[in-house]
Amino acid sequence: MPNPRLTGLGSGLFCAAVMVVLGCLDRALFGASLTLYGVLFLPVCVLTGLWVRRGDLPAAPVVVPIAFAVGLMALSGSGDGVGGRLMGLVTALAVEAGWLYGGTLLTGLTVIVRRVRLVRRRTARGRPPG
């Protein structure tokens, strides 16, 4: 399993790029299934939380919802003009808020577990033997 360490910006770009690709594939293969998009969002959230480097841990839960919205633009209903596209995006975000919150929570929990393990390791190294 690869173990890259992405910066905050890199994790945002990774997450957004993967979600755009998944959104386009979902639209092409499954006719824009928002539930499938939400299910595919969850592993991307976990990978983003695992692959962000230690110094940028707080960035992961911030970039995940942005990437969800960016990828969702490929699935949202295309209306007439910019207003129609924007209305489709807002509607899709409202309908799929459960997946958005769940993925963000999953990323947050992943980051918190990583942070707790980091603090425990540092504390264990600082203790005198015996």
Contact 42, 103 (CB under 8 A): yes
Q: Is the pLDDT of residue 127 over 80?
A: no
Q: Find all residues with CB under 8 Å of 89, minimum gap 6, and list them.
A: 69, 72, 73, 76
Q: Kindly report the pTM of this predicted structure.
A: 0.88
Could you report the per-residue pLDDT of 59-72, keeping only the tens digit for each?
Answer: 999 999 999 999 99
User: In the predicted model, what is the mean pLDDT of residues 3-11?
Assistant: 91
Q: Which residues pair with 52 in a beta bridge?
A: 6
- Cα separation, 130 vs 33, in Å, equals 58
Number of H helices, E strands in the chain: 5, 0
Main-chain dihedrals φ then ψ at residue 6, nearest 5 degrees: -100, 145
- Please tell me what DSSP assigns to residue 6: B
Q: Which amino acid is at 84?
A: G
Q: Is the pLDDT of residue 82 over 90?
A: no
Helix axes 81-95, 97-126, angle to 10 degrees: 60
